[in-house]
Structure 1
Amino acid sequence: MSLFQHSVIKKYTQELDTNSVNTAFDKFQKHFGNPEIQQNIRNSKEEQYQEGFLRELFVNILGYPINPEPNYNLLTEQKNEKDSKKADGAILKHEADKNSVIAVIELKGTETTDLSKVENQAFCYKNNHKDCKYVITSNFEKLRFYIDNAIDFEEFNLFNLTKERFQLLFLCLSKDNLLNGIPQKIKEASVSQEENITKKLYSDYSTFKRNLYQNIVELNPQFDKLTLFKKTQKLLDRFLFIFFAEDRLLLPPNSIREIIKQWNQLKDLDNYTPLYDRFKKYFGYMNTGFKGKQYEIFAYNGGFFAPDDVLDNIIIDDTILHDHTLKLSNYDFDTEVDVNILGHIFEHSLNEIEEIKSEIEGKELDKSKSKRKKDGVFYTPKYITKYIVENTVGALCTEKKNEIGINNDEIIISTRKAKKKELIEKIDTYRDWLLKITICDPACGSGAFLNQALDFLISEHRKLDELKARITNSPLIFSDIENSILENNIFGVDINEEAVEIARLSLWLKTAQKGRKLSDLSGNIKCGNSLIDDKNIAGDKAFNWHKEFPQIFGFDNLQDFENLEDLKNKDEKPDFLRLIKEKTLEAKEKAEKAKELSIEAIVLTQKVYEYAEKLDSLSEPKVNYKLKNAGFDVIIGNPPYVQVNDSLYRNYSTRKCGDLYAYFFEKGLNLIKMNGYFSFITPSLFIKGMRYESLREYLLNNSKIIGILDKGDKVFQDVQMPTAITTLIKTKCDNQNWNTFISDNDLIQKINYNSKFIKEISTIMRGLEIGKDKVYNNRNDIQFITGEDIYRYGVKNFSYIDEITYKKFQKNNFFFEGNRVLIRETGSRITTFFLNDNITQNNRSLYSIKINDEQVFNPLFILSILNSNLIQFYYQTVFAANTDVFPKIRIGQVKEIPIIDIHISMQKPFIEKADIMLSKNKELQALKSKFIKLLTSKFSNLKITNKIENWSELDFGIFLKELEKLKIKLTLSDQSEWLDYFEKEKSKANELQEVIKKTDDEIDMMVYEIYGLTEEEIHIIENS
C-alpha cells in the first residue's frame, strides 16, 4: 500500500539534515524502542496514553508546539467545522487570515489491531476540514499516514522501526516538512515518476517483444508463426521473472549482466556459443537448481522454466538478446516497477497481440476495434479492485469472524490462561476456514482482481499472526502462507492465452521468495471460454467448469476421469501421519541446536499438534476430500463489455440482453455456493435499459442484492462508458424491488443526514396558467418569464403580459413578490434562479419557492445548494431518470430535496458566491444581448439561430460563415471592423465565463464539504 516511489523518497531523504534525524531517532528509540515502555503502552487504555502519545511523538520527536504554547501547531480533540464531533488531534497551519487544519489524527488503543477499521472515522474528520490533506491513525504501536484518500498509505511499526523507516516517518511527519507540504510534493512526484516509468518500460518492453518475434520468425521457419508468437511471449515472461528475481535477491544480483559478461569472455577466448544457449542453460538452473563455487540458484520451477520443445530448439540473434536484455535490466524491478505497473503494461500489450495475430492471419486490423475494444478488455484501477475485494472477500471474512466471536474492534488480551487458550482456538478455527476460502475471477485478464484478493488474504493472515503473538506474548513469526493461498484460494479463467500467462506471472512475481518453489498455477489459472462448454461453438476454448475445477465442484461425473488416481492428483490429500513424523523429527533437531533456534522449534511443535487434530479427516474418502458445499465462495471481476450474437447463448436465461457481461452475471451466480459473495464492475446500462429486463429479473430471483454503486463514465482511461459496481449474495430473497438498488444508499443517506426537506422550510407554488399565445414583447405591460427564459443563475430575456390577462390568471401575490427562488419544471438538470422584485410574474413552468424564515435559511444559500452537482446527483438517483422525451421535475419531488441544516452564519460564504454568480451572469447576458441587438439593428432581417445566439463560443471565421448561411455577406472593410468588435466583446465574455465557471466549481466543493462527503463519494458524483 506504499504511497511513494522509492527513487523519489531517496532523493528527498538525501536532503534531510543528518544531525536532526539522528537526534530525533535517539529520542524515538529511548521511548518507543524501550521494551518496558512498550509493554506499559500495550497495557494502557486509549484515553490513558492518548495525550502522552501525542506529546512523545509529535512534540518531543517531531517538533510540534502543542496548545497552549505560543504559535502552537498541535491540538488535542479538534472539533469539526460542521458538527460537534472531534478528532483526537489535529495539526494546524498558520496563514495570514486563518488557521487551517491540514492533518487530523485519530487514535485507538493497542487492542485495536486492525487500523483499517479506523479509516472511515478518520476520513470523516478530514472531510469536515476543507483544507485538510493528511490523515494519521495509530493504535500507539502502529501508525498509518494517508494523503488525500484511503487507497494507499504508509504504515510504520513504531515498536520495531528501523533507522531507514524512521527517516521516512521524519520526512513525512516532522513539523517543518508537513507544514511546508513536503509529503504532498513527494506523492505528486511519485505519481509522475510512476507514469514516466510505465510509459518508458512499456516502450522498451514492446520494442523488445516485436523485434524478438520478428527475429525468431525469420530464423526459425520450421515452426508456424502463431506458435512462435506464443513462445515469444513465454520467453519474455521468463526474462521478466529473472529481472524481478535478481533485483529482489531471489537470484544472484545482476544475473543477466553476468550471463552477458561470461558470454563475452568465452567469445574472447575463442569459445563462442550463442547467447541464447547461455540463457537456456540459466533457465535450466531455474528449473532444476544449481550449486556452484560462486553462486547458487534455487530450483524455482513451478512449470514456468520446465523444458519446452519449441523454446529449446529455436535460434535467436545475439544482438537482439544482448541489447534488449541489458536495456531492461537497467530498471530497478525491486523499487521502481511493481506488479500494478506491469498490469498496465500487460493490458496495453494485448492490443499488440491482436495486431500481430492479424499480421499472421494476413488480415487488415481495424484500429478502432483493437483488443481492448473488440474484447472489452480494460485494466481495472486499483481503487475499484480494492473496493470490490473488501466488499466481498472482506465481508465474508467479517461474517465468519462474527460467527466465531473474534470480530470485535477491540480484542482485550486476557492474562487468564483459559481465556488465552479460547482466543487461540478461535484464531485457529478462523485460519482453518480462511485457508479453504475460494475466490474466482471468470474473466481474469492480467490478474488485477486476483492480485488484490491475494493481497487481502495475505494481510488477513498477517493480522492473525500478530494477534496470536500478542496473546502468547511471543516473538512475531509470519506464516509462510503465500503458496498455500495461490494453490488453494485463488482461481481464474480467461479466453486469451497470453492474458492467462501474464496473470500467472503477476501472481508469481508477487509471492516469489528466496529458496521456495513457485506454485504450479496450471490447475488454478486456466484458459478457456468461461461462458460456453460446447466444443461445436467454442472449439478448443470450450470450458467445462466442473471438469476443469474438480477440487471446487466435486466429481459427479467420474466417467470423465480415467481413474481415481486422476482425482487424487487433482487435489492431493495431506498425509498427516507422515507430516507428524517429519515435523517431530525436525523439531527435535532444531531444539538441539543453538538457543536462537528454539522459537522455530516451538512453532514446528505447534504444527505437530495442528496436524494431529486433523487426523480424523483421514477417514474421509479421497473423492470427497474438500468437496462439501461445491462452488466458489466469491466471484469477482470486470467481465468484457461486448455486444454479441445472442443465438450462441441460447441456454442462458439472460440471452436476450445480447451483452457478454449479462451472461457473466448469470454464469457467475451459477458458479458460487449458496450464501457466496459476487461483485462485478460492468456498464450501468442494465440498471434501467429496456433490453436488460431479463437480467434484472434473474438477479432479483437468484440473489440478494447488496448494492449497485454508480461509478460514472470515467473509471477506465479513454473509455466513455457509464459503469456500476454490483454486489450480490447468492440466496433467495423475496420482495426485492429493483428501484431500491439503483442508488448508492449510503451516499443518499449521508446527504439526507442533518438535512431538512424543502417542504419543511418553505412554501411552493406553481406559476400562472398562461399559455404562450398570451405572451408578447410590449415593454409597457407586466414583466413575465417562462421556464425557457431562465438558466442556472440567469435570465436570457423577459416577456410581457397585459393587465387583463394578468388579472384573469392572477394567484396569491405572496409567491410573486420579494425574495423567491424559481425552479424550472422541464429539463433533466435542476435549474434555479433568484428574484427579489415585486413586478415579475412567471408561468406554470416555474415553481416559486418562498422561504418560511430567512433568518434560518437564506434564499441565496438555498439557490446555491439547488444548483449544485450534489443535488443534481440526488435528484437523478432518488427520483430516477424520467424516460419521457421531455423530462420534468415534479413539484412533489422538489419538496423532497434535502437542504443541509447549518447555522445562518455558516451560510454566508454560499450567499457571497451566489451573489457573484447572479451578478456575473447578468453582466454576461447583458453583453451578449447588446451584441445581438447591434446585429439585428444592422441586419434587420437577421434570423437568430442557436449559433448566432451563442456567438461568444464561436471563432470569427465560423461566425462569418453562419452569417453567409443567412444570406448576409460582409465586405472586407466590414469584416475588419466586425473582427475588432467581435474579438473585443468575445474576450469580455470569456473573462466573465471564467469567473462564473470558477465560482460554480467553488460552490460545488463547498457543498461537498458541508455534506461531509469523502473523496470517493465526490468522485462518484462528479462522474455521474
Structure 2
Amino acid sequence: MSMFQKSVEKKYLNELDSSFVDKKYADFQNYFGNPERQENIRNSKEEQFQEGFLRELFVNILGYTLNPEPNFNLTTELKNISNSKKADGAILKGDNATAVIELKGTNTTDLDKIETQAFGYKNHHPKCIYVITSNFEKLRFYIQNAVDHVDFDLFNLSKEQFSLLWLCLSKDNLLADLPFKIKDSSVLQEENITKKLYADYSKFREAIYNNLIKNNPETDKLLLFKKTQKLLDRFLFIFFAEDRLLLPPNSISEIIKQWKTLKDELDEYIPLYARFKKYFGYMNTGFKGKKYDIYAYNGGLFKPDEILDNILIDDDILHEHTVKLSNYDFETDVDVNILGHIFEHSLGEIAAIAATSGLIPLTDTRVISKRKKDGIFYTPKYITKYIVENTVGKLCNEKRNELQIIDEEYAKGRKNRKKEIVRTLDKKLDEYRNWLLSLTILDPACGSGAFLNQALEFLINEHRKIDELRAQLFGGAIIFSDITTDILEKNIFGVDLNEESVEIAKLSLWLRTAQKGRKLNTLSNNIKCGNSLIDDPGIAGDKAFNWNKEFPNVFSKKEKKAWHITTAIHNSRYSQRMFDYHITTDNANWLSENDEIVITEIIAGIVKEDKLNVIEYNICGDHMHLLLVCEEEELTKIAGKIKGKSARLYNSNKGINPLVRLDGEKSVPLWTQKFGKSKIRNEDYLNNAITYIRNNRIKHELPKSERIEEIKKEFLCTKEHAFRTEYKGGFDVVIGNPPYGADLKDSVSFLKSYYKTFSLSGESYILFVEKSCELLRYNGRLGFIIPDTYLNLEFSFPIREYLLKNSIIEEIVLLPAKVFESATVDTTNLIIQKKNYTDTFYYNDVNIKLINKKSNSIDFNEFNKEFTVSTQLWNSEKSFLIQSNNEEIILIQKIDQGFYKLKTFAEMFSGIKCYEVGKGNPPQTPQIRDEKPFTKEYQVNSNWLPFFEGKHVDRYQLSWNQNSWLNYGNWLAAPREKENFVNEKILIRKIVGSTLICNYVPYTSYCN
C-alpha cells in the first residue's frame, strides 16, 4: 500500500547518495539475500532471532547503536510508560521512543494480526511517531496511524525497494523525521495536484458541454450533458493508461501530432475529434499496427455510442484541453485516490452546471446543491478502511476460524509431514478462496466508489494471504493469483441515484484494476443506477429499483407452498405420547369471545409486521386455524413466533406479568407444544381448506364474531397476493456513507407506507439503514458512517427500536466533528450484524469507542474512551447512551428516579432560527438570507425587541450591549411560538463543556 505521493517519493529518492546506498544494498543482500540463511531464519523461533534481527538490519545496515553500547538509540524490550507491557524494540531520541518495533517469527505470515498490538505500544509513548512490525521476512512501516503503510519483502528486496527502505529507516533519516516530512509533503502535494487537476478537468468539461450545445443544437441538452461526462471518462482512462503503459506512451500527443501533420503538411484536414473517435474504436475492438498495438480493453466505456459517434466538437477546444491534461503525469503525480477526490468533487458541480443551464428545475426561490439535495459527501479513506475491516474483515476472520486456518501450520511447510495433512491444509485454502469469491458486498449509495474500491483492495489482499500461505506450505516463490476480474464480477455491487456517479464508480474501479492486455470488466451487472429506497415507477419513474430483479445472483425466487396450520389450547388435546407416559393434565381453558378478539388482534399485528401471506384464519374456543403461504423452511419459525408472541401478549393482557408461575415455570403456556401442518397440494384442496377454516365456528356451533371478521379484513390477503413472486437471499455485507438530509418530500406517502422507521422530521440515512438491513442475509454485517441523530432524538426512536429488534449492534464509534471536507456534521461509525426479528430486543454488550470531537485526525488504534454498554439499558432508556458505561447509566437511572426533572417546573423550547432559504412566510430568498433584513445592530422602532445569541450569554451576566435587535414575525425561518418569549425566561447557552451557562431575563425578548 503506497504511503507517499510518488512524485514526492521520487524527489527524495533522487537526493540519496546512490553509491553509498549501493554499498549498503550489497551488505544487505549478503546477509538477507542468502538462501541458506533465509531458511535458517524461517526455522528460528521468535525469541531466538529477535536480538539478531535488530543487530543485523538496524545496526549493521541502517546504522543504529544498540543498547548497552554508549549513546545507544536502539533498544530491546521497551516498557510502556503507563503499564508493564513491553515492545520488542524501540528507536530512541534521547529518553523517548520515536519508533516502536514489534517482532514475530516467520510463522506469523499476516502482519495485519499484530497491528493493534504494535499501536497499543505506540499509544503508551506520547512522542512516538513510527511503528515497525516484522516477521523477519517481511517488514511493515507506519507513520502516525494505521491508515497507510509500506511493506518490504526483505528476502526478495530489489535495489529500488531497498532505496525506499533506506529513505524511511536509516538512522540519520528517521531520527531527523524525514519520513514524517515526506508524508507531510505528500499530503500537501496531493492537495495541490487535486485542486489544479480538478480546475483543469472542470474547465474541460464546461468547455466541451458549451461547445456541444453550440454545434449540436438539435440534440437534447440534458443528453449532451451526460455525454460530456462520458467523453471525459474516456479521456481520463486514456491519460491514465498511456502513462501506466497499458497503451502506447504519449498516445494523446501522437494523435494531436498526426492531426497537425494531416492538416498542415499533407492538406488532408480531418477534425481532431474524428481522430479521437478512431482511437476510441481501437480501444473497443483492438488494433494491430506497424508501430504499436492497442488491446481491446472496452468494458463498455468505449463501445459505440450513437450520440458520441455523431456529435461535432471544435478542434481548438479539444486541442487546448487535451494537451493541458496530458501534461499531468498519471503515473507519479495522479493516483487513483486523487482521482477519487476529483470524481466526488465533480459530482457536486455536475448538478450546479445542469441547474444553471436549465436542465434541472429550480425549486421556487433557490438552487439546491446536488450534493446537499442527494446528501452526497466524500468519505475519507481512514473511514472506508475501518468500516471494511470491521465488516468484511470480521466475516473473513470468522470463516478462517471456522476452517481452522492457522498460519503456524502452513509455516511448517510440507517437509517430513504426512501427505494427508498437507492435502487437508491445501484444501482449507481452496475452501476459503471459494468462500471469498461467494461474498456479496453492497454499497447502496456508492457515489464515486470509495467504499467499493476499499472492499476491492481488502479482498485482493485477502487472496494474496492465501497465496502466501500456499507458498509457505509447498515452498518456492509466491505466485499471486490474478483474481481481480473474479472479485469485480462476483463480490462487488453498487447502486446510486445519480447516473454520473455510477459511471464514475465504474471508471474508478477500472483504473484501479486495469492491466495491460486484459479486458475491462463490464461492471454493468454489478454497478447500477436507481433509487435504492423506492421500487415503484409511479413514484421514482425510471429510477425505481427492484433489487430482486436487478441482482438475480443475490436474490432467488421463493418456492412457496400453502399450509393449513392448526394449534390448540394447552391441555385441550391428549396425544398418544401423553397416554403412553401416563401424563396427567390440568383442565384446559376455554377462550371467551373477548379472549378470541384479543388473540386475533395480536395475530393481525404479527401478520402485518412480518408481511405474512395469510389467506384465511379462524379461532374457535380452544384452537386456531391459519391458511399460510410460505416456504417450508420458514414454516416452523413463523408458527413459533405466532404461538410465542400471542401467548406472551395474551398473558400480559390478563395481568400475568412477569410470566412466571408459582411452581417456577418460566411462562404460562397458552398453546400446545407442537402445531399441526398440512401441505395444500392442489387448487381444489386449497379452496376446500379456505371453506373449512372460514366455516369452522359454524361447525363447532359457535356464534359469528363481527369484531373478529372486521379484524380479519385487516390482515387476510387474496390467493393471488399470497402466491405472488417473492424472493429470498441477500448480501453478506452492506457498507457505505448513505445520503444525509436528502430531499424526500415527493415520496412521503410511499416511504411512510413502506418503512417502519419513516418520520416526517426524519433523515434519509435512517431509511437507508432499514433498507440495507432488509437487503442483508441472516448474520450479514452492515457498516455505515451516519450522523449521530439516531442515538437519542425523539424522531429517530423508530430506528433505535428497529436495530434492537433486528440486529446485534456490535460497535458504535463517535467521530470528530470535521470528518467531511464540505459538511460539518457529527457522525458515527455503526457496525451491526443482522438477526431475525424479535418482538423484544437482542441482548448484548455494544463496543463504544469515543474520539475527541475536536480532533483534526483520527487514529482507530487510539481512542479517548473505550467501553461496552448493554442493550438492555438502551432498551429501557429508549436511547443509545454512548457517553456512559453500564455502571454510569445505572447511577443516572437512580438519580432520575430520586429527583424531579426540569420539565416539572418549566417549559422548555428552542430559540428562533432567523434565516433559511425557502423557509418562512413568504419563503425566504437567497437575497434575504444574505442581507438579513430582520436583524439589526440598532432598534429600528418599538416593534424591534432585544435579540440574544449564544455569544451574549456568559456565566454570570448577559454581554448584550443593545447591539442586537429582531423584528419578529412569520417571515422568520422558524419563529417558534411568540408566547414562549413573553416576559421572564432562563436562557441556556448551547452546552459546550461540562458546565451550564445560563442567564435569567425578566422581560420580553427573543433568542436564537
Name the SS for the 1:150 alignment partner: strand
Partner of 2:452 in structure 1? Answer: 450
Measured at CA, do residues 881 and 312 of structure 1 come closer, stay the same or move farther in structure 2, by a change above 3 Å? farther
User: Which shows bigger deviation, 367-376 or 270-279?
Assistant: 367-376
Partner of 1:361 in structure 2? Answer: 359
Q: Distance in 2 between matches of 1:518 and 1:890?
A: 67
Query: Displacement of 1:950 after TM fit?
Result: 7.0
1:713 and 1:719 in contact (8 A); partners too: no
Partner of 1:831 in structure 2? Answer: none
Partner of 2:369 in structure 1? Answer: 370
Structure 2 counterparts to residues 6-45 of structure 1, below 5 A = 6-45=6-45
Partner of 2:392 in structure 1? Answer: 393
Q: Does 1:348 align with 2:447?
A: no
Structure 2 counterparts to residues 471-510 of structure 1, below 5 A = 471-510=473-512
Query: Displacement of 1:45 after TM fit?
Result: 1.2
Partner of 1:636 in structure 2? Answer: 735
Query: Displacement of 1:873 after TM fit?
Result: 9.0
Partner of 2:205 in structure 1? Answer: 209
Matching residue's letter, 1:48: Q
Structure 2 counterparts to residues 108-147 of structure 1, below 5 A = 108-147=104-143
Matching residue's letter, 2:281: G
Partner of 2:857 in structure 1? Answer: none
Given candidates 271, 276, 300, the residue that maps to 1:274 is 271
User: Which shows bigger deviation, 714-723 or 312-321?
Assistant: 714-723
Measured at CA, do residues 78 and 537 of structure 1 come closer, stay the same or move farther in structure 2, by a change above 3 Å? same
Partner of 1:321 in structure 2? Answer: 318
Partner of 2:3 in structure 1? Answer: 3
Matching residue's letter, 2:491: N
Given candidates 837, 849, 852, the residue that maps to 1:744 is 849
Measured at CA, do residues 531 and 945 of structure 1 come closer, stay the same or move farther in structure 2, by a change above 3 Å? closer
Q: Distance in 1 between matches of 2:150 and 2:898?
A: 49
Name the SS for the 1:69 alignment partner: coil
Structure 2 counterparts to residues 530-929 of structure 1, below 5 A = 530-555=532-557, 630-642=729-741, 644-645=744-745, 646-649=748-751, 650-656=753-759, 658-732=762-836, 736=841, 741=846, 743-744=848-849, 879=888
| Structure 1 residue runs without a partner (length 5+) | 559-626, 755-871, 892-943, 966-996, 1001-1024
Name the SS for the 1:464 alignment partner: helix
Partner of 2:679 in structure 1? Answer: none
Query: Displacement of 1:157 after TM fit?
Result: 0.8
Partner of 1:985 in structure 2? Answer: none
Q: Distance in 2 between matches of 1:105 and 1:38?
A: 21
Residue by residue over 1:597-648, the C-alpha shift from the partner in whole angstroms, topping out at 9 and shown as x without a partner, is xxxxxxxxxxxxxxxxxxxxxxxxxxxxxx9972111111111112634323
Partner of 1:167 in structure 2? Answer: 163
Partner of 2:572 in structure 1? Answer: none
Measured at CA, do residues 877 and 321 of structure 1 come closer, stay the same or move farther in structure 2, by a change above 3 Å? farther
Q: Distance in 1 between matches of 2:866 and 2:496?
A: 44
Cα-Cα RMSD: 3.5
Query: Displacement of 1:172 after TM fit?
Result: 0.8
Q: Distance in 1 between matches of 2:952 and 2:828?
A: 40
Partner of 1:826 in structure 2? Answer: none
Q: Distance in 2 between matches of 1:76 and 1:6?
A: 33
Q: Distance in 2 between matches of 1:748 and 1:431?
A: 29
Structure 2 counterparts to residues 429-448 of structure 1, below 5 A = 429-448=431-450
Q: Distance in 2 between matches of 1:257 and 1:385?
A: 37
1:74 and 1:89 in contact (8 A); partners too: yes
1:533 and 1:543 in contact (8 A); partners too: yes
Structure-2-length-normalised TM-score: 0.68
Name the SS for the 1:655 alignment partner: coil
Matching residue's letter, 2:433: R
Residue by residue over 1:653-677, the C-alpha shift from the partner in whole angstroms, topping out at 9 and shown as x without a partner, is 1123632211111111111111111
Q: Distance in 2 between matches of 1:265 and 1:695?
A: 66
Partner of 2:63 in structure 1? Answer: 63
Q: Distance in 2 between matches of 1:890 and 1:556?
A: 54
Query: Displacement of 1:6 after TM fit?
Result: 1.2
Query: Displacement of 1:718 after TM fit?
Result: 3.0
Query: Displacement of 1:40 after TM fit?
Result: 1.3
Matching residue's letter, 2:754: N
Identity of aligned residues (%): 60
Query: Displacement of 1:951 after TM fit?
Result: 13
Structure 2 counterparts to residues 222-301 of structure 1, below 5 A = 222-268=218-264, 269-301=266-298
Matching residue's letter, 2:67: N
Partner of 1:87 in structure 2? Answer: 87
Query: Displacement of 1:412 after TM fit?
Result: 3.9
Measured at CA, do residues 79 and 528 of structure 1 come closer, stay the same or move farther in structure 2, by a change above 3 Å? same
Query: Displacement of 1:243 after TM fit?
Result: 0.7
Name the SS for the 1:554 alignment partner: strand
Q: Distance in 2 between matches of 1:133 and 1:340?
A: 24
Q: Distance in 2 between matches of 1:325 and 1:750?
A: 47
Given candidates 520, 523, 539, the residue that maps to 2:522 is 520
Matching residue's letter, 2:185: A
Q: Distance in 1 between matches of 2:147 and 2:861?
A: 22
Name the SS for the 1:677 alignment partner: strand
Name the SS for the 2:141 alignment partner: strand
Partner of 2:51 in structure 1? Answer: 51
2:808 and 2:844 in contact (8 A); partners too: no
Q: Distance in 2 between matches of 1:947 and 1:308?
A: 59
Query: Displacement of 1:78 after TM fit?
Result: 0.9
Given candidates 444, 465, 468, the residue that maps to 2:467 is 465
Residue by residue over 1:257-316, the C-alpha shift from the partner in whole angstroms, topping out at 9 and shown as x without a partner, is 111111111112101100001100000000000011110000111111110000000010
Structure 2 counterparts to residues 927-938 of structure 1, below 5 A = none
Name the SS for the 1:360 alignment partner: coil
Q: Distance in 2 between matches of 1:404 and 1:691?
A: 44
Q: Distance in 1 between matches of 2:57 and 2:441?
A: 41
Q: Distance in 2 between matches of 1:729 and 1:143?
A: 34
Matched positions, count: 724
Residue by residue over 1:109-152, the C-alpha shift from the partner in whole angstroms, topping out at 9 and shown as x without a partner, is 11111111111111111111111101000111111111100100
1:65 and 1:73 in contact (8 A); partners too: yes
1:704 and 1:732 in contact (8 A); partners too: no
2:139 and 2:152 in contact (8 A); partners too: yes
Measured at CA, do residues 395 and 367 of structure 1 come closer, stay the same or move farther in structure 2, by a change above 3 Å? farther
Q: Distance in 1 between matches of 2:116 and 2:505?
A: 32
Q: Distance in 2 between matches of 1:383 and 1:694?
A: 30
Partner of 2:683 in structure 1? Answer: none
Q: Distance in 2 between matches of 1:663 and 1:298?
A: 44
1:696 and 1:738 in contact (8 A); partners too: no
Measured at CA, do residues 945 and 176 of structure 1 come closer, stay the same or move farther in structure 2, by a change above 3 Å? closer
Measured at CA, do residues 250 and 743 of structure 1 come closer, stay the same or move farther in structure 2, by a change above 3 Å? same
Residue by residue over 1:786-837, the C-alpha shift from the partner in whole angstroms, topping out at 9 and shown as x without a partner, is xxxxxxxxxxxxxxxxxxxxxxxxxxxxxxxxxxxxxxxxxxxxxxxxxxxx
Query: Displacement of 1:84 after TM fit?
Result: 1.1
1:948 and 1:962 in contact (8 A); partners too: no
Q: Which has the higher helix share?
A: 1
Matching residue's letter, 1:642: G
Residue by residue over 1:676-709, the C-alpha shift from the partner in whole angstroms, topping out at 9 and shown as x without a partner, is 1111111111111111121111111111111222
Name the SS for the 2:96 alignment partner: strand
Measured at CA, do residues 252 and 555 of structure 1 come closer, stay the same or move farther in structure 2, by a change above 3 Å? farther
Q: Distance in 2 between matches of 1:964 and 1:297?
A: 71
Name the SS for the 1:87 alignment partner: strand
